[in-house]
Structure 1
Amino acid sequence: MHLTLVHTRYQLLETIRIPIAVIGSAFFPAVSMLFFVVPFAGDDPVAATYATASMVTFAVMTSNLFQYGIGVSEDRAQPWDPYTRTLPAGAFPRFAGRVLAGLVMLILPIIPVVIIAAVGTEATITLGGLLAGLGSVVLISIPFTLMGLAIGYALPSKAALAVAQVLFFPLAFGGGLLSAPGSAPGFIEIIAPYLPTRGAVELMWAAVGDFDPNPVSLIALVGWIVVLAVLAVWAYRRDEGRRFS
């Protein structure tokens, strides 16, 4: 546990020392709030609350995709990463430290979304809803963490960057993150329940408001978690086999 915390601290310091990485993780969710939520749903308390939950989901997705997808692939190119795998403690402390650091870093892109919602919209939330929302943030980070890890361990840094950039907007739009519940275009409503972003955002909607998640979306989300976990383990073992066998 001590080694895990040491690696967590190292990962956090490494990220914070590059301010643009911190600013970049908060940029897209904050801009999306300003352009899509404040002018169109800001005056409606219910719509603004759901839209804020959608933007929090968007922030979780983008943060995990870029932090793990690009961060892991860049670390694999450095000599420090293979060296830590040869140490007696193994790779687990560094891996666990990366995951814990990722959970801490999730706070950074969420803060501006919440501030914009509080200042520029009529969104409201109860204390119970706030606590449920925080728990949902941890839960919905799982599939996107696994997705980022799969990308990071499977691809070199340039390819990982391209794949993360290609994935994040279609997942957001296709999952209905940029529209209110039930108001997305028809073809989006058809495909949305089968994307991980839809199950994730419906959990957030249920946490902050009176929304009943679609069972199909939740089943699909569990399926995505299983598939992405298998892909992440496969990518990790494939990378380990190539560089250490």
Structure 2
Amino acid sequence: MSLVLTYARYQFLETVRIPVAVIATVFFPAASMLFFVVPSIGDDPRAATLATASMVVFASMVTCLFQYGAGVAEDRALPWESFVRTLPSGPGPRFAARVLVGTAFVLVAVIPVVVIAVLFTEATLSPVRFAAALGALVVVVVPFTLLGLAIGYSLPAKAATAVATISFLPLAFGGGLMGDPEDLPGFIETIAPFLPTRGAGELIWAAVSDIPVEPLSMVMLGVWTVAAGAAAVVAYRRDEGRRFS
């Protein structure tokens, strides 16, 4: 555990020393709240609460894709990473440290969204539902973490950054995070259940409201989680074999 915390401290400090990395993580979800949610539905308690939940999922996705995708790919290009991979501790402590750091930055990205909702909208949430939403958030982080790791270990830094940048908006719009989850356009309604963002969104929406969880969305969220996890393991082993065999 001490080794995990040591790695986590190093990775956290390394990230915060580049302020633009933290700013980018916080900017997109907070800006979406200010420009899309507050002016249009901020005075509707139910709509504002659902929109805030959607932005929480959006913040989690953006953080994981950049923290694990672009961040891991950039680390792989450093001589220090090659050295650390040869140490006898194995990948376990470093993977655990990445999860801790990624979770910390997810919370950093979510806090401005919640603050904006409290200050500028009529969103309301009971303590019980708030606790349920936090539990759902822990589940939501898992598939996006694995997806980010798969990107980070599969692609070089520039390509990983590009993929992370161009993927989060289609996933957000396609999953219904940028609109009313109960009234989606026809095309979005058709493809949404097959995207991980829809399943993740439904978990959070169900925690903060009476929106039901659809079985197809949950099945596909599980499929995405397993597929992303398998891709991350394969990519890590391929990268290790390419470097050290």
TM-score normalized with structure 1 length: 0.98
Flag structure 2 segments of 5+ consecutive residues without an equivalent: none
The aligned amino acid for 2:55 is M
The aligned amino acid for 2:116 is I
3-state DSSP of counterpart to 1:106: helix
Q: 1:1-245, aligned counterparts within 5 Å?
A: 1-245=1-245
Q: Which runs of 4+ in 1 moved over 6 A?
A: none
Encode CA deviations 1:171-207: one digit per residue, 9 max, x unaligned.
0000000011221211100100010000000000011
Distance 1:243 1:103 in 2: 29
Task: Compute the RMSD of aligned alpha carbons.
Answer: 0.8
Encode CA deviations 1:100-145: one digit per residue, 9 max, x unaligned.
1111111111111001100111000010111111111111011111
Distance 1:147 1:65 in 2: 7
3-state DSSP of counterpart to 1:123: coil
Distance 1:38 1:25 in 2: 20
The aligned amino acid for 2:171 is L
Distance 2:67 2:202 in 1: 23
Report how far residue 83 of structure 1 moved. 1.0
Distance 1:143 1:150 in 2: 11
Distance 1:142 1:228 in 2: 10
- Matched pairs, number: 245
The aligned amino acid for 1:13 is L
3-state DSSP of counterpart to 2:64: helix
3-state DSSP of counterpart to 1:234: helix
Distance 1:126 1:12 in 2: 32
3-state DSSP of counterpart to 2:85: helix
3-state DSSP of counterpart to 2:78: coil
Distance 1:74 1:188 in 2: 34
Encode CA deviations 1:55-94: one digit per residue, 9 max, x unaligned.
0000000000011100000000001112112112122212
Distance 1:105 1:28 in 2: 14
Distance 1:159 1:8 in 2: 25
Report how far residue 211 of structure 1 moved. 1.4
Distance 1:179 1:78 in 2: 40
TM-score normalized with structure 2 length: 0.98
